[in-house]
């Protein structure tokens, strides 16, 4: 093949490749859109799963993940998926621990509560917890707070 022929061929090849990429891209976008629109679209029929009508399970309003009450921040979804299967998120948000104690707590849950290996998610989870729910100093006795004043009626 001489010059112009080879060039034409290359253009054709490039055109095909680009078209292929574009089609693939459109398909991926389509799948993503379909998934976002209806997360159940890829489910096979599986009777062990009960269909529960839900809006957006991961709706965030004012920086709070609505389903769990957890603060939106880096690592949120790792915490939601690994830490709220067995117990309520309320057990997490009530507690204030440093990284060492959270790691000890995770080890305890793995030993006694059937928590799975968290892999590289453990660091993400612990970082989320110590950043968003840090320990507060309380001393030996805190001042009374959140007092709701009311007029005491005669008995």
Partner 1 sequence: MKRRAFIQKTALSAFAAALGTEIVFGANLLKGYTPLGLQDPDPFELFKKNKDMVVLNDRPWNIEARAHLLDEKITSNANMFIRNNGLIPQEIDVANWTLTIDGESVKNSKTYSLEELKTKFKQYTYQLTLECGGNGRSEFDPPAKGNQWTVGAVHCAQWTGVRLRDVLEDAGIASDAVYIGYHAADVHLSGDPTKEPISRGCPMSKALQEETLLAFKLNGQDIPVAHGYPLRLVAGGWPASVSGKWIERISIRNIVHDGAKMTGTAYRVPCKPVAPGAKVADADMCIIESMPVKSLITYPKSGAVLKKGRKLNIRGHAWAGELEVAKMEYSIDFGSTWKSCELSKPANRLAWQHFTASIDFPEVGYYEVWARATDSQGKAQPMVLPGWNPKGYLNNACHRIAIKVQ
CA atoms of 143 and 11, how far apart (whole Å): 78
Shortest reach from residue 22's CB to partner 1, in Å: 18
Q: Are 125 and 78 in contact (CB under 8 A)?
A: yes
Nearer to partner 1, 14 or 34 (CB): 34
Which residues would be at the binding site for partner 1 (CB under 8 A)?
31-32, 35, 39-40, 42-44, 46, 48-52, 54, 57, 67-68, 77-78, 80-82, 84-91, 94-97, 101, 105, 108, 112-114, 116-119, 121, 135-142, 144, 147-152, 155
Instruction: Give the SS3 label for residue 65.
Output: strand
Nearer to partner 1, 9 or 54 (CB): 54
Shortest reach from residue 57's CB to partner 1, in Å: 6
Using the 8-state DSSP alphabet, how is residue 71 labeled? E
Q: Are 137 and 84 in contact (CB under 8 A)?
A: no
CA atoms of 129 and 62, how far apart (whole Å): 19
Shortest reach from residue 66's CB to partner 1, in Å: 8
């Amino acid at each position: 093949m001489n010059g112009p022929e080879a060039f034409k061929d290359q253009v054709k090849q490039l055109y095909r490749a680009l078209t292929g990429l574009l089609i693939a891209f459109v398909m991926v976008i389509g799948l993503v859109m379909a998934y976002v629109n209806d997360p159940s679209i890829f489910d096979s029929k599986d009777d062990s799963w009960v269909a529960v009508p839900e809006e957006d399970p991961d709706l965030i309003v004012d920086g709070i993940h609505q389903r769990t009450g957890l603060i939106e921040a880096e690592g949120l979804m790792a915490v939601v998926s690994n830490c709220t299967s067995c117990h309520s998120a309320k057990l997490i948000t009530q507690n204030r621990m440093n990284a060492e104690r959270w790691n000890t707590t995770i080890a305890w849950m793995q030993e006694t509560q059937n928590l799975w290996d968290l892999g590289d998610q453990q660091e993400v989870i612990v970082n989320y917890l110590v950043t968003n729910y840090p320990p507060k100093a309380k001393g030996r006795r805190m001042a009374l707070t959140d007092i709701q004043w009311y007029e005491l009626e005669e008995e």
